[in-house]
Amino acid sequence: MRRVQRLDALALLFMAACFPQFALTQQVPAGRADTAWRQELDAWRAHYEREISAPDGWLTLIGLEWLKPGINTFGSAAGNSIPIHAQAPDRMGMLTVIGKTVQLLSPAGGFPAGMQVDGKAAREGTLNVSDTNPSTIAWHGLTLVVLLRGDRFVLRIKDADSPTRAAFRGLHWYALDANYRVTARWIPYKPRQIEPIATVIGTTLNMTAPGAAEFLLNGKVLLLEPVLEGGDASKLFFILRDTTSTTTTYGGGRFLTTGLPDHGLDQPGSLTLDFNELYNPPCAYTPYATCPLPPQKNRLPVAIEAGEQRYEH
């Protein structure tokens, strides 16, 4: 292992000498920059914890139900196709799947008082099932969203009064370590590639991979391939795993979201990767999420002791 790391280091020295504009470095803040960096990261972590524990955060997810073609009734009463295991009206409505569309229909007697769709009084009609702006059905602290997963529709159910949210006592993080902030060389793909990303529910997401980030970490040259989440080309989404997943971090891997390379996605350049910002996928907090899994090329043979640790329920 030491011989491999030495060869990696020698190769980097050669590249840095021949192509100084593409030299790989570990970017360690100093002085005021270090103080500002730590303050920004502390603020980011606090904001992330507030999002996780918010009334519509991942800790409120209490159900994930597949819809069948035709009529799917939902509510708290026995006999509904989709039982709502929370305080809710006996019969809230019907979700009718016809081909590639899902319609919301009212039960006998109309929708329950106070039920809304996208912030307005509930009305019958076709629901938006896109990940970016799905229709939201709400009744007091309950929210329901229909999403397309593979070639099937699924109903995601959240409850602001869920036991998991009530029991939340905070997240766990590694101490901030500037050695895990690195400058990567951006290698664009021409043309961009389509990467099949497996999920925990057995489906596959075909996501756009615009390039790869090559970087130096603890004397070893590593490569990570990001994707564009939901087609959003304003940021990069890394799905990765390292050897800490067997001990101190979530076994299914972690996520990292960054800005774009300094010369854009289509030109060679550099990119900052701060692994102190690694965070858990929703599946770390609830069994009802549909998380993507790290592709084989993003399963790193090193320990990244930075970012979020395993969630303790």
Higher-confidence position of 40 and 150: 40
26 and 100 co-located in one domain: no
Q: Does residue 246 lie in a domain region?
A: yes
The pLDDT score that the predictor gives to residue 18 is 41
Cα 50 → chain centroid: 16
Compute the average pLDDT of residues 178-200: 96
Same domain, 146 and 273: no
The string of pLDDT tens digits covering residues 198-236 is 999 999 999 999 999 999 998 899 999 999 998 889 999
- Mark whether 218 and 205 lie in a shared domain: yes
- DSSP character for 33? H
Q: pLDDT tens, 93-140?
A: 999 999 999 999 999 999 999 999 999 999 999 999 988 899 999 999
Amino acid 279 reads Y
Q: Which domain holds residue 240?
A: 2-53+170-298
Chain mean pLDDT for the chain: 91
Residue 313 forms part of a structural domain: no
Q: pLDDT category, 13, cuts 50, 70, 90?
A: very low
Give the model's confidence band at 249: pLDDT under 50 very low, under 70 low, under 90 confident, else very high.
Answer: very high
Is residue 308 included in any domain, yes or no? Answer: no
Residue 26: pLDDT band with limits 50, 70, 90: low
The verdict on 280 and 265 lying in the same domain is yes
- Does 88 reside within a domain? yes
Q: Mapping DSSP to helix (H, G, I), strand (E, B) and coil, where does residue 250 land?
A: coil
What was the pLDDT predicted at 27?
62
As a whole number of angstroms, the distance between CA 258 and CA 3 comes to 32
Q: Report the distance separating Cα 227 and Cα 278, nearest Å.
A: 16
Could you tell me if 93 and 32 lie in one domain? no
Please give the tally of structural domains in the chain.
2
Question: Of the residues 115, 141, 166, which one is the last residue of a structural domain?
Answer: 166
- Partner residues linked to 185 by β-bridges: 214, 270
Q: Which residue has the higher pLDDT, 134 or 313?
A: 134
- Say yes or no to pLDDT of 170 above 50: yes
Domain boundary among 166, 186, 211: 166
DSSP state of 174: P
* Residue 252 within any structural domain of the chain: yes
- Full-model pTM: 0.85
Does residue 175 sit within a domain?
yes
In a domain, 309, yes or no: no
218 within domain boundaries: yes
From 166, 187, 217, the end of a domain falls on 166
State residue 33's pLDDT score.
77
**Residue 241 identity (one-letter amino acid):** R
CB 243, CB 300: distance < 8 Å: yes
